[in-house]
Structure 1
């Protein structure tokens, strides 16, 4: 069981400072996890890697739980815009320089999508992040900055505060879920030496069981549903963002207005109607349709019944 107070001291740099040595420990642990997975990270392995005794490491990091928290915040420095001030917390030295003025916002959806894509890219670079589990973790300064950035994006939509937090949590948990599944698949492939496609390709005995007991599955299988499966991240991210968008009031000022949503079809033929430069809405697509509409109205009595 980790000590959350000690984790806070280490992450935020409020305890005894051993900056360089602690930084070397965390960097080495990240490199080891990147190369061999989280199971390879132990205080003994790190001590051997750094050329110190295990007890020497314990003078800087009380245990593996605190080490994992430091490792997570160190790699999140690759994303957090901006990182904490220099020297604040042992992982602050890992933060890359942040441009003073980033690109102009493209709207909340594009910005939140970019946030999610940066998150999945980070987890692909450091797949051990998905192995950290769901235990309570004290967030460090870079984790807080990453979360703050997403909150600031969704807050621009005007959603109520609780929905802002819920929307960011929803997108973040979707990213984490995809990363966990990918990490689990990769671990299985490493352990067995057999890729997912190869393993399923050898399941002829299972496919032989597909008969009229499973009509929908058989039909979709025969129609090629599994020949070119959709990317779960790409498909899922858009559906999650669609759900967030459904909550946002019409007229969100951060969104680029889609003029085509206001265009109605011609009342006679249904074809698109060009917008009137003067701003007055048009009802018909052409003079011919307007004349036809007049003739139709003239053939009806005031109650709308044909004469």
Structure 2
């Protein structure tokens, strides 16, 4: 299955569009009733409701009441459109002012801001950003999030890696949560109802004596969550462990700075 990724189009054209660099020469012909922002907004609306596969030049054109070729006046293709959609979502993110707060509070805010982004735009969690769209939204997001890690004794490479570590967890959790919601919608049952309806089938083939640890742990987790997987518990447990891991590195750096070379 092809992976949607940012920066997969023409880099020069994407950067021009992301930063809204004016064209070298004015367009001739009738007054343009659309603009890039309108095209992007409609595309995001489609993706939010029907997923990223629904965002085609034809579907977007239909929503805008124009022929597909008209869209190419504004955006050269879906790859560049995807960069614009993602960067626009970044621009619109809520960003808390946590200056002066403890670093765990600052990083928790960063995590929750990204969680909110993926809840509002589930398609954003499915995109690979190993080559991020270097637009104003991305740069503002990166600057804001790095400030939560500044002056903690980490060097620049460690700051970047620590942020990537945190955001990778948030994105993975968002994907799992979206899959859980999709499973519930497809089956028209919540997880507790699904297990109640199908437990007798598992009992016919599963021998708890052959898998005693799995039986014990699975039963305990299922009873606690009412399901085999709880996105909420995974979020709370995972975020705490991510912060604990970063604390070990930050504390080590702080201790090294305070003691100095021996």
TM-score band, normalised by shorter chain: 0.7 to 0.9
Matches within 5 A, 1:95-244: 102=97, 104-133=99-128, 136-201=131-196, 202-208=198-204, 209-222=206-219, 224-229=220-225, 231-244=233-246
**Residues 238/178 of structure 1: CA separation in 2 closer, same or farther (3 Å cut):** same
Shift of 1:218: 2.0
Instruction: Output the CA distance in 2 between the equivalents of 1:211 and 1:133.
Output: 40
| Partners of 2:132 and 2:138 within 8 A in 1 | no
The structure with the larger Rg is 1
Could you state the TM-score of these two structures normalised by the residue count of structure 1? 0.68
Residue 7 of structure 2 corresponds to residue 10 of structure 1: no
3-state DSSP of counterpart to 2:221: coil
1:45 aligned residue: 59
Taking only aligned residues, the RMSD between alpha carbons, in angstroms, comes to 2.7
State the partner residue of 2:258.
none
Decide whether aligned partners of structure 1 residues 10 and 80 sit closer, same or farther in structure 2, where only a CA change above 3 A counts: farther
- In 2: Cα distance, 1:135 partner to 1:226 partner: 35
Number of matched residues?
Answer: 233
- How far is the alpha carbon of 1:9 from its aligned partner? 1.1
Q: Residues 103 and 113 from structure 1, CA distance in 2 versus in 1: closer, same or farther, beyond 3 angstroms? A: closer
1:181-201 Cα deviation digits (max 9, x unpaired) = 122333344445454444333
Matched, 1:64 2:61: no
Higher relative contact order (CA 8 A, sep 6+): 2
Q: Flag the structure with higher helix content.
A: 2
Q: TM-score, normalising length from structure 2?
A: 0.79
Contact 1:151 1:168 in 2 (8 A): yes
Note the residue ranges of structure 1 that are not aligned, 5 or more in a row: 82-97, 254-307
